[in-house]
Structure 1
């Protein structure tokens, strides 16, 4: 696999035009007119649905790494929740993450942490990444699925529809907190997995990259902060491998097992 690289990547003005207004919109939460405790509650609920069930459980552990299996209807539901996080369509997100694991902290890694915290956190998305051209090679298992195609193509429209529903339910405070604040918070929590967990924390395993286990990122991302463990055992549905490495997503998978909704659960070998 070869990906053309450039020492001076061009700015991706489409991404910049997408990120900047949403960050500015989140600042509206500082004004009393847009505050209500119900709106904060909506934000926290959607943070769990989109970041926890969607990105961590659905996009990452279920589909990207196939750490376990679920009925197709549940897979589609979790991927829909991930699409609501607005971190790109599911096909692009999953493909880019698979590329990251293949080349973690090397030149071909889209968010190579050797290029600095800012770059790995979000700077790479503000530039044209040649890795996007390789996504089809890494997503052949989902690329022809009509549900994935629909979510990939309609991510923004789905988010707008959610905004309309929130507006009708609770006015602009629900929109500001349920869309703007929630999106920005979920984004940066997810991006900390690319940046902070390649810089801060401890290493239990000698992986071929700079991945670390970072407790506070694990708390923010429902267990994704145990990143060194994950890079050592990418297939494992459980990331918190020590008894004190709290992993809420693993607990969710265990609940799904009890309900008969999670099967073929893959785990790292016990020491």
Structure 2
């Protein structure tokens, strides 16, 4: 039971900062926050994602490119141009690293106002940090695993963020339903997105990329992350941009 709770905590805490900070803030800037809040989110992203830490800059720029080039040859991750999810994610990793390490020239529209903390990213993305977290995860399993099958979950702990990416960027472009006609294959993966905290409403998001609430188009589309953001807004920790009500087209 301890191991299952550990995996659940890693899953939802890491996912929250991916969707709240990396996605809705760094890439789409659906809200504002102080410089201190931004720095704190960097540190909390590192703590919750651990061995699979993602840079706000690398993620933000790449995600903007995904929206601009969705399901074309320039898309950093599209099932349409990769034979399987492993080749897609390997290509995604390569593009992410090139962006994050600034080894490729990027148009200004993709980098404008994307937060960047180079010193912290260098530390949090280092092999020393990643291996340190991996050792910590392994030690936790050593002390608390009570059955052989629980060790199968250890690679999930190591690779949590890439697994989150696969669910949305691969399966969210193949399976599900649509509310809007868009120029790509994005779909709403779940009717109620309990697994991905709102990220699964991918078709809604591709239609209204700058909207903080990924759900809310149908009655059952509850975006848990957005309701947490409302609470943070009321606490004056962030400042949400107005969210327009939208109606499905299909």
Counterpart check, 1:208 vs 2:183: yes
Task: Calculate the aligned-residue CA RMSD, in Å.
Answer: 3.1
Matching residue within 245, 249, 255 for 2:231: 255
Counterpart check, 1:111 vs 2:110: no
Q: Cα distance, 1:235 vs. partner?
A: 0.6
Residue number in structure 2 paired with 1:151 = 121
Q: Cα distance, 1:268 vs. partner?
A: 3.6
Q: Name the TM-score, length of structure 1 as normaliser.
A: 0.72
Q: How does 1:76-225 map to 2 (within 5 A)?
A: 76-83=39-46, 84=49, 86=52, 88-116=54-82, 118=84, 121-127=85-91, 128-129=94-95, 132=99, 133-135=104-106, 137=108, 138-142=110-114, 145=116, 147-155=117-125, 156-163=127-134, 171=142, 173=144, 180-215=155-190, 218-225=193-200
Residue number in structure 1 paired with 2:148 = none
Residue number in structure 2 paired with 1:71 = 34
Distance in 2 between the 1:217 and 1:186 partners?
A: 21
Counterpart check, 1:40 vs 2:4: yes
Q: Name the TM-score, length of structure 2 as normaliser.
A: 0.77
Instruction: Tell which deviates more after alignment, 84-93 or 259-268.
Output: 84-93
Is the 8 Å Cα contact of residues 163 and 179 (structure 1) preserved in structure 2? no
Distance in 2 between the 1:216 and 1:170 partners?
A: 34
Q: Which runs of 5+ in 1 are unaligned?
A: 1-36
Q: Which runs of 5+ in 2 are unaligned?
A: 146-150
Distance in 2 between the 1:217 and 1:203 partners?
A: 14
Matching residue within 217, 236, 252 for 2:211: 236
Is the 8 Å Cα contact of residues 59 and 94 (structure 1) preserved in structure 2? yes
Matching residue within 11, 24, 49 for 1:61: 24
After the TM superposition, which parts of structure 1 deviate over 6 Å for at least 4 consecutive aligned residues? 167-170, 176-179
Residue number in structure 1 paired with 2:13 = 49
